[in-house]
Structure 1
Amino acid sequence: MAKKKYRRSRSNSILDRKIGIKPGHLYVPTEAFVPRFFLMSFSEAMFEEQEFETYAQLLKRFKELPDARHWIDIRGYGDLQIQEQLVKDFKIHPLQMEDVINDYQRPKVDEYEDGLFMITRMLRWSEEQHSVEDVQLSVFSNANYVVTLQSDYADCLDPLRERIRAGRGVIRQRPPIYIVYAILDVVLDYYFPVIAEIGKYVDELEHSILKSSSKITLQHILDLKNELVKLRRIAWPERDKLVELLRMEEDVLPENLKVYFRDAYDHTIQLIDLIDSHKEMASSLVDLYMSTVSNRMNEIMKVLTIISSIFIPLSFIAGIYGMNFARENPETGEVYPYSMPELYQPYAYPILISLMLLLILLQLYFFYRKGWFTKSF
């Protein structure tokens, strides 16, 4: 139920926007979720994780641990006061917070006073609707914290949370910008299963076309092409965003961390190649559908042609003997010798029927030798 509610909210997000309002205007989107507040605080020597009932409790605990690194995770936009408080407490520009709330922004990255503002999009594949669902994830990073904001309660970042809890790798030792990379890496990793599911769906559609094509199948193909176009609109800005990150100064993105972002950049290139490949395959499915429909129409026309070819000579014979030419003049009694004398033969009817059957058999044999009969049926 939560997913359905969220999808309605996201589809109405554009309608929520007012025309002519001042830049940086904040509002509560229709059917927005009540915010939930999560805080991870960690260093090489300590780790603490907690969900808070109020934003004030989270902020208090955040300020009590100035030497730790923090991941502040806020899910839900349903409180205008908290939006305004975030702008004040974390020195977020109102225009950036407006982009967070208007949560169908293209992936991008911006520098602000003390850190980075990044938008990425999380993907998941819907088996029921055969469509891609995408959720915006907004990330703010600073010297000792990362703030993530999203409209939905569910996300794809649990593997990263497990790594931080377990203290695996060097994630607790790295600066917050490394957590930004880790978040982006997990998000991009989830793109590949979505692409794989699309590949399976393409194979299913191809099998369906070869088995029994219909207008419903064609509609599914066109819907899939639309989903791939949407994926491409997401993947290309992700690539551009990473290019911008790699061009940033060392005080923003240290040189020793750029290698990780280059790896993420390589992932986006792979994703774009896969999306383009599936897009071509989807286009070829349309051609396959049209070719299959055309071939089946040709088969139907061939069957109708065979049937017509059989009955044309039969109709000709029946038309000849259906003419009402009299054999005898009723007034004078004169007999006309050339007016179908065979009509009065005792075995004329069975002979004519036998002749018709023989003609049918000869035609069928002729079509069989030509290969039409076996290919049609």
Structure 2
Amino acid sequence: MAKRKHRRTRDKILERKVGLKPGTLVVSAESYPPRFFLISFNIDFFEELELKTYAELMQRVRAKPDARHWIDIRGYGDQAMLEQLAQDFHLHPLQMEDVINDYQRPKVEEFDRHRLFIISRMLRWSSESKSLEDVQLSLFTGPNYVLSLQSDYADCLDPLRERIRVGKGVIRQRPTMYMAYAMMDVVLDYYFPVMAEIGEYIEDLEQQVILQTSKTNLTLILDLKSELVKLRRITWPERDKMSEMLRMGEDVIPENLKVYFRDAYDHVIQLIDLVDNHKDMASSLVDLHMSSVSNRMNEIMKVLTIISTIFIPLSFIVGLYGMNFSHENPETGKVYPFSMPELYQPYSYPILLALMCILILFQLYFFYRKGWFSSF
């Protein structure tokens, strides 16, 4: 299933048209129809709406210039709307192209009088496919608004919406840049449960490898390593993004807000440490699998060696007496020296079988004293 997901990701990248003018918007036929959500608030006022059209959304925003707005658009299935959006908010065509081609690395760009264009990636661990599912979250900050765009209807920002609804914390009192930080912080907070689920999955894989070695387990381990590489490709640019925001001037991010971004930066460093730790554990799983295969092969070879060692002297005895060198010529009656007089001894057959059984028991006792059966 992970291979199918990687194939879908590759196909999504290959959908990007070659040779088009930079900034050209190309909406995929699989894009969801847009849904429009608006949260408007200040210290004493709160309003949350889902609007039917983009025109109604803009009308509501323009009607309350003194409020702060979270303009939330989910779904890219209307190219005309996206072009109008870029015109109304003075968004650069290259930025809108990055929004639509939503497989961008996390980053931040400053544009148009200290406004910011921010890309984050929302993560979820799929317990069914044992793979990462990520959705791009694009943010544009303005003097009294934060514009968020995403290709999917579901996201991880409901805890933030609830905080705004109940007026918990200081988010209604802070500028819109703080709301942008709060969105990125919630996205980062969801990385930690993902890390925990991956850690539990690694422990489960470790138990499976110890109990049974199979090609299926090796495939699962290699798929996990691919997911961790993808996770590392997300977390490292996230660190660079936070570091760049901390270096921005006070006219972009006030100094009293940078303490929050420093805290987010610390969270990213913790995430990177966890990713590296999980990568090391996944690599050790490969070594454990190969060691288990080798140990299993050694056990098989030990069994075969014991069986072979038991039958080697028996085969020698049977082969020796199978030569049938007669002690006496039946025609002339002449007795030959150095022949096999045992062939004509009474009870020679059961005596030889008894001697062979005694030899087997002696060998088994010898192997037991050497500790060869201790691992069985």
TM-score by length of 1: 0.96
Displacement, 1:129? 1.0
Contact 2:326/2:343 (CA < 8 Å) preserved in 1?
Answer: no
Q: C-alpha distance in 2, partners of 1:188/1:300?
A: 49
Contact 1:13/1:29 (CA < 8 Å) preserved in 2?
Answer: no
| Residue matched to 1:111 | 110
The one-letter amino acid of 2:284's match is S
- Kindly tell me: are residues 205 and 216 of structure 1, through their superposed partners in 2, closer, same or farther at Cα, counting changes over 3 Å? same
Contact 2:160/2:183 (CA < 8 Å) preserved in 1?
Answer: yes
Matched, 1:28 2:27: yes
Which shows bigger deviation, 284-293 or 336-345? 336-345
| Residue matched to 1:126 | 126
| Residue matched to 2:53 | 54
| Residue matched to 1:249 | 249
Displacement, 1:12? 3.2
Displacement, 1:139? 0.2
Displacement, 1:288? 1.2
Q: C-alpha distance in 1, partners of 2:68/2:15?
A: 36
| Residue matched to 1:71 | 70
Q: C-alpha distance in 2, partners of 1:10/1:63?
A: 38
| Residue matched to 1:3 | none
Which shows bigger deviation, 111-120 or 6-15? 6-15
Q: Within 5 Å, which residues of 2 pair with 1:223-242?
A: 223-242=223-242
Unaligned runs of 5+ in 2: none
The one-letter amino acid of 2:261's match is F
- Kindly tell me: are residues 8 and 176 of structure 1, through their superposed partners in 2, closer, same or farther at Cα, counting changes over 3 Å? farther
- Percent identity reads 71
Q: C-alpha distance in 1, partners of 2:131/2:107?
A: 24
- Kindly tell me: are residues 223 and 171 of structure 1, through their superposed partners in 2, closer, same or farther at Cα, counting changes over 3 Å? same
Q: C-alpha distance in 1, partners of 2:8/2:32?
A: 9
1:136-186 Cα shifts (integer Å, max 9, x gaps): 000000000000000000000000000001111110111110000000000
Displacement, 1:330? 5.1
Q: C-alpha distance in 1, partners of 2:112/2:282?
A: 45
Displacement, 1:336? 2.3
Displacement, 1:9? 7.0
| Residue matched to 2:44 | 45
| Residue matched to 2:306 | 306
The one-letter amino acid of 2:39's match is M
Contact 1:73/1:147 (CA < 8 Å) preserved in 2?
Answer: yes
SS in 1 for 2:146: strand
Q: C-alpha distance in 2, partners of 1:175/1:298?
A: 67
1:46-83 Cα shifts (integer Å, max 9, x gaps): 11110011111111111111110000000011111011
- Kindly tell me: are residues 172 and 7 of structure 1, through their superposed partners in 2, closer, same or farther at Cα, counting changes over 3 Å? farther
1:193-214 Cα shifts (integer Å, max 9, x gaps): 0000111011111111111121
| Residue matched to 2:149 | 149
Unaligned runs of 5+ in 1: 1-5
SS in 2 for 1:148: strand
Displacement, 1:326? 3.3
Q: C-alpha distance in 1, partners of 2:12/2:280?
A: 32
- Kindly tell me: are residues 143 and 7 of structure 1, through their superposed partners in 2, closer, same or farther at Cα, counting changes over 3 Å? farther
Q: C-alpha distance in 2, partners of 1:117/1:265?
A: 18
Q: C-alpha distance in 2, partners of 1:365/1:25?
A: 82
Contact 1:13/1:30 (CA < 8 Å) preserved in 2?
Answer: no
Contact 1:37/1:52 (CA < 8 Å) preserved in 2?
Answer: yes
SS in 2 for 1:372: coil
Q: C-alpha distance in 2, partners of 1:293/1:81?
A: 59
Q: C-alpha distance in 2, partners of 1:24/1:290?
A: 50
The one-letter amino acid of 1:232's match is R
Which shows bigger deviation, 224-233 or 306-315? 224-233
Q: What is the number of residues matched between the two proteins?
A: 371
Contact 1:9/1:29 (CA < 8 Å) preserved in 2?
Answer: no
Q: C-alpha distance in 1, partners of 2:7/2:214?
A: 30
Contact 1:117/1:141 (CA < 8 Å) preserved in 2?
Answer: yes
| Residue matched to 2:355 | 355
- Kindly tell me: are residues 10 and 332 of structure 1, through their superposed partners in 2, closer, same or farther at Cα, counting changes over 3 Å? closer
1:281-301 Cα shifts (integer Å, max 9, x gaps): 111111111111111211111
Which shows bigger deviation, 342-351 or 318-327? 318-327
Which shows bigger deviation, 205-214 or 307-316? 205-214
Q: C-alpha distance in 1, partners of 2:30/2:165?
A: 33
The one-letter amino acid of 2:325's match is F
Q: C-alpha distance in 2, partners of 1:374/1:269?
A: 48
| Residue matched to 1:85 | 84
The one-letter amino acid of 1:286's match is V
Contact 1:224/1:282 (CA < 8 Å) preserved in 2?
Answer: yes
Q: C-alpha distance in 1, partners of 2:218/2:14?
A: 31
The one-letter amino acid of 1:312's match is I
Q: Within 5 Å, which residues of 2 pair with 1:260-299?
A: 260-299=260-299
SS in 2 for 1:374: coil
Contact 2:139/2:147 (CA < 8 Å) preserved in 1?
Answer: yes
Contact 1:364/1:373 (CA < 8 Å) preserved in 2?
Answer: no
| Residue matched to 2:139 | 139
Q: C-alpha distance in 1, partners of 2:105/2:54?
A: 28
